[in-house]
Structure 1
């Protein structure tokens, strides 16, 4: 019986040591799990912040594209308006040139035409070549 007790005592001691090892491993694993949960929570927070930043950047890009399209449209409208105004300006220049030509012709006519020419409605215009202007 003493041998059985001794053998039982040895078995109990062995099991106690095994339990202590397993308890130690369990504590280490629980600590590791707690650390991993903390790390996981930190990573989730960083991911959420990054996701929010990405969404903000997407919104900003969308706004910039919209603004860019509006600016391009405004630029095209201004170019069209400028072309229209250039045409109107050219037409006004032509009109002014026609008026100047008419007024100069009327002035020349009054200076050079005689009353007899007016009465007969026959006006003779003589051509006088202009002298070339020299550059200094």
Structure 2
């Protein structure tokens, strides 16, 4: 079995961001030489997410509004923030959007459904955070 491990680092200038990381993941899969297998894409921070969806700006704005309604950035509203943090909402948003994505690799390519892309979701930006890419297969 072949495997390849790589990391992407993000430091978004804003608190929230959705970044299409499909091209970077595709490049790492290509470099791995794996023709049949899986790739794990994992947000390594508890206030960030990796998810699969459509790369459409209106949908991303809808995500942002929906997440803010579910878990508003309101530091005084959360017990977690009594520890000196102000990012409890980011932890909740991450739970909703997910920690990781696994994509099949078929004939050396990411085996997506129509419109699917891989995204990094940032909910408490302005500092470096890593994403793990782990390719495994034959």
Same fold (TM over 0.5): no
The structure, 1 or 2, with the larger RCO (C-alpha pairs under 8 Å, 6+ apart) is 2
TM-score (norm 2): 0.16
Q: Which has the higher strand share?
A: 2
TM-score (norm 1): 0.16
Q: Which has the higher helix share?
A: 1
Computing the radius of gyration over CA atoms, which structure comes out larger, 1 or 2? 1
